[in-house]
Chain A
Amino acid sequence: MSELAHGAHPQGFAHQFEDMDQQRDAGRLGMWVFLVTEILFFGGMFTAYTIYRALHLPAFVQGSHQLIVKFGATNTAVLIFSSLTMALAIRSAQTGRKKGTIIFWLILTWLLGAAFIGIKLRFEWYRDYLEGLIPGVQWFYNGPHAPGVKMFMCFYFFMTGLHAIHMVVGLGILTVLVIMTARNKFSAEYYQPLEISGLYWHFVDIVWIFLFPLLYLIGGRY
């Protein structure tokens, strides 16, 4: 459609815009606004968590002890590293590097994201299942502060689950980006989808940067 209407414009140009700059600005602003809604989305959950933590402090500390810090810490490192590789993918597109380089960084990012989810599933959630720490599904815990620990574990699963859903969406986006790069959709002039996907990926990382201390660390055990 765009090619019919504005044959002279570069690839990736959408008909409703006047020029490429306008399109780039619009895409960038759109993603930022979307991330603001995401902050509010997670924000409701963080608020509820904070209030219940204040109301049931000993139980939440006890609940935090059910988590294994070393896996959380590993995953934090994995995610931070994936943010670096994502940034490098965008940088290679921006500086007009070969598409092989871009694809390399994208696939590395994808693998790191998948590693995060793998660790989460295999070493954390699966173990929680075996040990009966999943409220409403498999619940054996009968130590101190049982009702409050149950509430903590609820929030743990809601928050990390919601985060994991965002990770899976991110992996889907990365897959699309790899295909687009392979089909020569990007150049030093047009790499906007890479850039705004990068914003999303970094945002998902930052959410984890808040989740990790809130859930794993501030229980008073280091």
Chain B
Amino acid sequence: MSTAIAELQESPAESRVNYLNATYGIKSWLLTLDHKRIGLLYLGSITLMFFVGGMAAVLMRLHLTEPQGALFEPETYNKLFSTHGIIMVFFFLVPSIPATLGNFLIPLMIGARDVAFPRLNLMSWYIFITGAALALYATLSGGVDTGWTFYPPYSAAFSHTNVVAVALGVFVAGFSSILTGLNFIVTIHKMRAPGMTWFRLPLFIWALYATSLIFVLGTPVIAITLFLLGMERILHVGIFDPAVGGDPLLFQHLFWFYSHPAVYIMILPGMGVVSELITAFSRKKIFGYAFVAFSSLSIAIISFIVWGHHMFVTGQSIYAGLVFSVLSFLVAIPSAVKVFNWTATLYKGSISYEAPMLYALGFIGLFTIGGLTGLFLAALATDVHLNGTYFIVAHFHYVMVGGAVMAYMGGLHFWWPKITGRLYPDMWARIAAAIIFIGFNLTFFPQFVLGYLGMPRRYAIYPSEFQVLNVMSSAGASILGIGYVIPLIYLIWSMRYGKPAPPNPWGAKGLEWTIPSPPPTENFETIPVVTEDAYNYASGAH
């Protein structure tokens, strides 16, 4: 690798040498310290996890086409939804945008040669892989039936499944998040190019900075909680299990202290991506830059003081419930600030509808529905009715899938030419975006109705009057599944057969578009000096 870099620096005709073809062979990938290659390593691993988790979801939806359950024993169904939740949350959504696009883009966007600690970056990936392998092993050798939340007593001696192995997998993967967050914080603080002041940073960077704060502050708490949970099972001592003197409520407090902020780990990077996409395809400066930037930070901060809204009906004091309810409403403010600013950015913009923009617009609509239904759940009285029903399932899927995954897909399509140096077929991409949007809504909108009518989540069977809506949801899930397979095919196809991409195929602003596609190993021949604000489209577009 060192010789390759030396060549790259010495040879003047380096336009064709990039980070992908600088070195070859499996070893050059598995031992790489290049943030761009590490981003691709993550991309491959989380794509695998996404389709494993997706398979579990498809099987669940197939099962639920009949009121008595079409395919599985209830125990198997419990394992399926646990697997789906654990894999999607901890091994896909949490690392999705930060570890792939974040790793690839942060140094490019701030004008740096790499992240601050490249070795640590590679180590994070190996830690992630170890955790993912443990979780997959545990799933294939019997699975878990605790749900992704591991609540005792479901996860205590009561459960005879692989709780310890899965918890260990999540525990290990957590350290990958912590180290990634640490690396990003230091990189954003210390590695910015001359002239790249905080208020010239792309909003994607602000969003990832806020996300990294949550990584660093929240993840250690879930790690220690899962450690205690594992110890309780191994040593048979009472910590959380009420049968042996523990307090299950304490587990919920500690669990949600991380896991509620983790929701924002999943959505904040998506908001960052959408801010980039909306400006690029409206060819306009973002409306209210500082508001959007600070709303990311305030979401990160508020996220740490709202966890009790998961516990309104689990035995928390009513006064704590009141306070948590009010605090939870607060999250709506910075979230709404973002939505209004994106909308105002679109106003009088020269909007074009390439595939990434379709995902961004889909995000705004679906996230708004997901966010507003969150207010129903933050209100104590309605939450008592809706808690534990499909309304919750629909609500968080609108945020996690309609929000986070849509943004991830949009970002992937937006930066794909930069990452691979190839263009994908635009028509297929637009068709897939439309299929995903339709499939998603058909899957999850009926679940709002089901939940409102009182169908509880996590049950393998249901009364027959709910069948029509469940069949609608299952039909939507199969459409959604097809929608996700199409991009998998054409994106892989484009890596070999796609047209070569120019440095800036969208005419977008930002340092990453000033260098060749794909970028050279050292990113910038000379470190750029930044002299203008982000999204300065006014200078050229009209």
Q: Which residues of A are interface residues toward B (Cβ below 8 A)? A: 1, 4-5, 14-18, 22, 25-26, 29-30, 33-34, 36-38, 40-45, 47-48, 51-52, 55, 135-137, 147-148, 150-151, 154, 158
Structural contact, A147 and B224, CB atoms closer than 8 A? no
Q: How far, in Å, is B522 (CB) from chain A's closest CB?
A: 8
Structural contact, B186 and A151, CB atoms closer than 8 A? no
User: Which are the 3 A-B pairs with shortest beta-carbon distances?
Assistant: A136-B235, A41-B220, A44-B224
Q: CA A48 – CA B255 in complex, angstroms?
A: 12
Q: How far, in Å, is B27 (CB) from chain A's closest CB?
A: 15
Of B6, B189, B235, the residue contacting A137 (CB under 8 A) is: B235
Structural contact, A40 and B221, CB atoms closer than 8 A? yes
Please report which residues of chain B, range 104-146, place their CB below 8 angstroms from some CB of chain A when the two chains form the complex.
Answer: 112-118
* Chain A positions within 8 Å of B182 at CB level: 30, 33-34, 37
Structural contact, B250 and A37, CB atoms closer than 8 A? no
Structural contact, A16 and B220, CB atoms closer than 8 A? no
Structural contact, B245 and A148, CB atoms closer than 8 A? yes
In the complex, residue of chain B having the shortest beta-carbon distance to the beta carbon of A146: B245
Structural contact, B237 and A43, CB atoms closer than 8 A? no
Q: CA A76 – CA B527 in complex, angstroms?
A: 50
Structural contact, A4 and B112, CB atoms closer than 8 A? no
Of A15, A29, A42, A55, the residue contacting B186 (CB under 8 A) is: A29
Of A16, A40, A45, A135, the residue contacting B116 (CB under 8 A) is: A16
Q: How far, in Å, is B432 (CB) from chain A's closest CB?
A: 37
Q: CA A26 – CA B236 in complex, angstroms?
A: 44
Q: How far, in Å, is A184 (CB) from chain B's closest CB?
A: 22
Q: How far, in Å, is B354 (CB) from chain A's closest CB?
A: 33
* Chain A positions within 8 Å of B522 at CB level: 5
Q: CA A14 – CA B80 in complex, angstroms?
A: 46
Q: How far, in Å, is A45 (CB) from chain B's closest CB?
A: 5
Q: CA A38 – CA B182 in complex, angstroms?
A: 12
* Chain B positions within 8 Å of A52 at CB level: 247, 250
Of B117, B178, B247, B254, the residue contacting A44 (CB under 8 A) is: B254
Of A22, A34, A47, A55, the residue contacting B190 (CB under 8 A) is: A22
Structural contact, A151 and B217, CB atoms closer than 8 A? no
Q: CA A202 – CA B183 in complex, angstroms?
A: 22
Q: CA A36 – CA B219 in complex, angstroms?
A: 11
* Chain A positions within 8 Å of B219 at CB level: 37
In the complex, residue of chain A having the shortest beta-carbon distance to the beta carbon of B254: A44
* Chain B positions within 8 Å of A44 at CB level: 220-221, 223-225, 254, 257
Structural contact, B190 and A26, CB atoms closer than 8 A? yes
Q: Is B346's CB within 8 Å of the partner chain A?
A: no
Q: A48-B250, A147-B238, A158-B228 are in contact. List 20 more A-B contacts (CB 8 A).
A: A16-B113, A16-B115, A16-B118, A16-B191, A26-B190, A29-B186, A30-B117, A30-B182, A37-B217, A37-B220, A43-B221, A51-B250, A52-B247, A55-B247, A135-B237, A136-B234, A137-B235, A150-B238, A151-B246, A158-B227
Structural contact, A5 and B247, CB atoms closer than 8 A? no
Structural contact, B239 and A151, CB atoms closer than 8 A? yes
Q: Can you pick out 28 interface pairs between chain A and chain B where the beta carbons lie within 8 Å of each other?
A: A1-B2, A5-B5, A14-B118, A16-B118, A22-B190, A22-B191, A29-B190, A30-B183, A33-B185, A37-B219, A38-B220, A40-B216, A41-B223, A42-B224, A44-B221, A48-B239, A48-B250, A51-B247, A51-B250, A52-B250, A136-B236, A137-B235, A148-B245, A151-B237, A151-B239, A151-B245, A154-B235, A158-B231
Q: CA A36 – CA B215 in complex, angstroms?
A: 11
Interface residues on B, range: 35 or more
Q: Is B326's CB within 8 Å of the partner chain A?
A: no
Structural contact, A37 and B216, CB atoms closer than 8 A? yes
Structural contact, A1 and B5, CB atoms closer than 8 A? yes
Structural contact, A33 and B216, CB atoms closer than 8 A? yes
Q: CA A158 – CA B224 in complex, angstroms?
A: 10
In the complex, residue of chain A having the shortest beta-carbon distance to the beta carbon of B10: A4
Q: CA A77 – CA B217 in complex, angstroms?
A: 31
Cβ proximity bits B417-443 to A, threshold 8 Å, 1 near / 0 not: 000000000000000000000000000
Q: CA A158 – CA B223 in complex, angstroms?
A: 13
Q: Is B28's CB within 8 Å of the partner chain A?
A: no
Known contacts A33-B216, A44-B220, A48-B254; decide if A150 and B186 are in contact (CB<8 Å): no
In the complex, residue of chain B having the shortest beta-carbon distance to the beta carbon of A42: B224
* Chain A positions within 8 Å of B244 at CB level: 147
Q: CA A147 – CA B239 in complex, angstroms?
A: 11
Structural contact, A48 and B527, CB atoms closer than 8 A? no
Q: Is B9's CB within 8 Å of the partner chain A?
A: yes
Q: How far, in Å, is B43 (CB) from chain A's closest CB?
A: 21
Q: How far, in Å, is B367 (CB) from chain A's closest CB?
A: 29
Cβ proximity bits B240-255 to A, threshold 8 Å, 1 near / 0 not: 0000111100100010
In the complex, residue of chain B having the shortest beta-carbon distance to the beta carbon of A34: B182
Q: Is B1's CB within 8 Å of the partner chain A?
A: yes
In the complex, residue of chain B having the shortest beta-carbon distance to the beta carbon of A30: B186
Q: CA A25 – CA B112 in complex, angstroms?
A: 15
Cβ proximity bits B307-346 to A, threshold 8 Å, 1 near / 0 not: 0000000000000000000000000000000000000000
Structural contact, B189 and A29, CB atoms closer than 8 A? yes
In the complex, residue of chain B having the shortest beta-carbon distance to the beta carbon of A15: B113
Structural contact, A36 and B217, CB atoms closer than 8 A? yes
Among B9, B190, B238: residue with most chain A CB under 10 A: B190
Q: CA A26 – CA B185 in complex, angstroms?
A: 10
* Chain B positions within 8 Å of A55 at CB level: 247
Q: CA A47 – CA B220 in complex, angstroms?
A: 13
* Chain A positions within 8 Å of B224 at CB level: 41-42, 44-45
Q: How far, in Å, is B74 (CB) from chain A's closest CB?
A: 32
* Chain A positions within 8 Å of B6 at CB level: 4-5
Q: How far, in Å, is A168 (CB) from chain B's closest CB?
A: 17
* Chain A positions within 8 Å of B238 at CB level: 147, 150-151
